[in-house]
Amino acid sequence: FFFFFFFQAEDGIRDRSPSRGLGDVYKRQVEILSEALKVNRTIIYLNLGRNRITDRGAKMIGEMLKLNETLTQLDIKNNRIECAGVRAISEALKSNKAITMLDIGYNIVGNEGIDIIGKALMTNTALTTLILRSNNIECKGIKVIGEALKVNNTLNILDLSQNRIGNEGAKELAKHLNKSLHLTGIKCIEENMKKFVGESLNSSITIASLSLKPNRTKINNETLKELNISYNEIGDEGAKAICAALNTNVTLTRLNIGYNKLGYEGARAVSEMLKFNRALINLDISCNIITYEGIKLICEAIKANTALAQLNLNSNSIGLEGIKIIGELLKVNNVLVQLNIGNSKICLLYTSDAADDSLRVDLGGRRIIKKKK
């Protein structure tokens, strides 16, 4: 049997000794756990997130990883771990053949820590998922990761979201994405990422999943299945670049471009994409600033689309005119099965007869009145 172990301490835990702080309580507990896990052969998942273990606790974890051959997933996010702790974990990863997922997000890794991690990735052959979210990583750190990706053929998912890689870092990452044929998932940050990653992924042939949430840009290639670029402020220009890349895509099934300040031009880009794309099943364009004019373009495109089954238009400025347009779409469309138009600035909705039977319509608490036959 295998077990999952969670140890996420709460602020209510207190150390009775006046000479030791709360952090010392956690570290002593980590020491006990580490010693036990050196011989344990059943625990496969360990969550030590938010325990203030700092570098001292990370060093203990590192020593444990050198001996443990069962643990496959380790979560040590938000623990105030700095360079020394990163070094201990990285040294263990050079020899550890069991860990496949490491979440070290929300710590203080920085460029120096990334340099250490990069060297470990050059020799590690087990890690498939690495989460480095919110660690003050800049362009210099991205260059190190890029060099590691040249030789590492195991890493599938890399999360670099909420860092500070900037435009130059985006370019650097895109350059290595173009060369890295094994990477299946990546998360990054920065407003102009959409441009550089988009260009690079147009020529990449093996990316399976790319998420940049919440950042400034997920685009597609021949194997990408899901694209989530919500909360990235990509605007209309970003939507144009992304939708253009998806025009001929035959594998992407889910696209989320919600919370991105898309207006009329963004809606036009989406509609043009829907005219050609026949793979997309789920489209989320919620929480933008699309009015009935943009909705009209999208609905016209959907009339000819034979694939889209789920559409989320929640929190747009659709209004009554937009609802009328959607109603007309529902009369002729026989593919759409889920529709979310909650918080769309409407007071009443008279549903069309076509929507009465098979469609699931989410109106976010809006009042629905059926038309009398």
Task: Choose among 60, 84, 82: nearest CA to 7.
Answer: 60
CA distance 266 to 271: 9
Q: What is the pLDDT, as a whole number, of residue 117?
A: 97
DSSP, residue by residue, 196-255: HHHHHHTT-S---EEE-TTTT-----SS--EEE--SS--HHHHHHHHHHHHTT-SS--EE
Render each residue's pLDDT in the chain as its tens digit; 373 residues.
555 555 554 433 333 334 344 446 566 778 888 898 998 888 899 998 998 899 999 999 999 999 999 999 999 999 999 999 999 999 999 999 999 999 999 999 999 999 999 999 999 999 988 999 889 988 788 789 888 888 888 887 777 777 776 556 655 664 554 444 445 455 554 444 455 445 444 444 344 444 445 544 434 334 347 666 677 577 888 788 778 878 877 877 888 888 888 999 999 999 999 999 999 999 999 999 999 999 999 999 999 999 999 999 999 998 889 989 998 999 899 999 999 988 876 654 444 444 444 444 555 544 444 444 4
For the chain, give the number of residues.
373
SS3 state at 373: coil
Element (H, E) at 30: helix 22-37
Residue 208 confidence (pLDDT): 46
Smallest Cα–Cα separation from 56: which of 99, 8, 15, 88? 88
Distance between CA 48 and CA 22 in Å, rounded? Answer: 15
The answer to whether the CB of 92 falls within 8 A of the CB of 104 is no
How far is CA 256 from each of CA 131, 218, 226, 239, rounded to the nearest angstrom?
Answer: 21, 9, 8, 11
Q: Measure the CA angle with vertex 134, ends 237 and 94; round to 5°.
A: 120
Instruction: Report the Cα 291 to chain-centroid distance in Å.
Output: 27
Which pair of tokens denotes residue 241? 């670049």
Structure tokens of 35? 């010693």
